[in-house]
Structure 1
Amino acid sequence: MPSIQASGYSPTIKKRALSRKLVELRDQCGMTTSEVCKRLRWSPSKLNYIEKAKWVDPNSDSVTDLCELYGVGPTDTEALIKLTREARQRGWWRKYNDVFRDDYVGLEAGASEIYTFQTTLVPGLLQTPGYVRLINNNAGMHDSAELNRHVDARTQRQKILTRRPNPCRLHALVDENALLRINDPLVRSEQIRHLISVSSRVNIDVQVLKIADGVYPGTSEPFVYLKFPEPTDRDIVYLETTIDDRMMEEEDELERYMDRFDRLRAVAPDNAATGAYLTRLIE
């Protein structure tokens, strides 16, 4: 049986690894989900939540029941129970359930590399407090306490870029429209200066797709591509829409979006040229 472990910084990643291991065990036994539910007298939705990593607090008793059913030995069972306890830990983002609407931030917290393409907004990991307040104000949020919570939550997210010993690697492609839409001159200047500053870090690249350069190849909706430190942790492409959010991890989907990202960064001014261009914007 594959090693039962999950490295990284995020309980969400550990929960995902746990669910994947349990699916592998069921497949090895040749059991269907219907057979498992019948034997354990579970509802189909309960097993689905476990196998899809949708359970909020992984339950050791449920994992033990599955291990007994699948004939898992005591050593591997104990390893899975340990992983269950780790997956049940509360990530910092759980304090901001009113800000974050899905598991994305927990996945982001465990990422080793992030590739993002944004057309109308500055990437969240690069937003300044003033910019966060501006976009939330424009969305109808005016309560100062609520605005402060959104700023605090965003600041917490950005700590993955400076964590030690392994800061997350970020490569951001941003359409110039996202900057020109900032209609407050002070906020725009602050945000652009921040982009210039962070792009000097060894783990951050920023490329701005200029309007003057015309239509670029691979035009599509904004997306974020997450990579993780463990080879067994499959990459994820995250799409945020008005109706719902999608997380894709099939090989063909991953290849399609990384190819799209590669084509976009090939035509965008590189990190140094982007920094020079941004400097001219605020001079």
Structure 2
Amino acid sequence: MKQNTESVSTSTRPIPQEAFDWYDEYAHGLIDRREFLSRLSGLAVLGFTMTTLTSALIPNYALAEQVSFNDPSIKATYEKFPSPKGHGEGQGYLVVPRELKGTAPVVLVVHENRGLNPYIKDVARRLAAAGYIAFAPDALFSLGGYPGNDDEGREMQKSLSRELIEEDFIAAANFVKSHEKSNGKLGAVGFCFGGYIVNMLAAVIPEQLDAGVPFYGTPAAQDLRKNVKGPLLIHFAGIDKRVNATWPEYEKELKEIGAEYTAHIYEGVNHGFHNDSTGRYAEKEAELAWSRTLEFFSKQLA
């Protein structure tokens, strides 16, 4: 069992913290859009326009491309996979190193609560550019796929059975692990809802998952946590009361069962700090968390 909880500081943002907190509530269904915009309008007395606030908070996916889909070092396709216990069939974004010789580790990439958006696709491309076979399923495939905007995607995902979505990701993990170029090692990285899915996979398929990296994700159901073996590399945002409130109990359980894990807390940053398409993005902390993720996968999946 390993544990290494650290703090990383960041500078204060000009947008009031309340706005980021309200966006987090809105993005996770705790308040509706009307309430979210109403609260933002109250910041006008501080000199903020709605355009300034919404442009800082709502994703701009034109910014989320660190590796182009035209990058000559990778090849991306959409692949379907069977999911008999889920929605019957799923589909995901498969990215492989173009000049792959022999085999490579595979990594499942799990999106937030709104479907397979451009940011998650870019994360998959980043992994492929680093030498991994990356597969990013779309939980919304049974409804036609990610609709092109987060609001609609969020409502679509909310309409689906969580249990069936979970089965789809279990099926996707098994599908990509059996890829013809797989070296037999499976990693998983997920963000927000995707972080929860990684924790869930660590509890449901502990023998198949060789390395899990949940970014600001809640733990699996309590009756499943006893099955976790790890290794896990867990990233938390310092300003994330909702998710961080679940950590003390989860950490206690991981210690009790002797699971292998490392946890990092990045102080002064918001939930979603790795997502470079919004004002919550914290470049220094995101790059540090990502470098740690790649080092972890290199060690565990070689």
Name the structure where strand makes up a greater proportion of residues. Answer: 2
State the structure with more CA Rg: 1
Q: Structure 2 length normalisation: TM-score?
A: 0.26
Name the structure where helix makes up a greater proportion of residues. Answer: 1
Q: Structure 1 length normalisation: TM-score?
A: 0.27
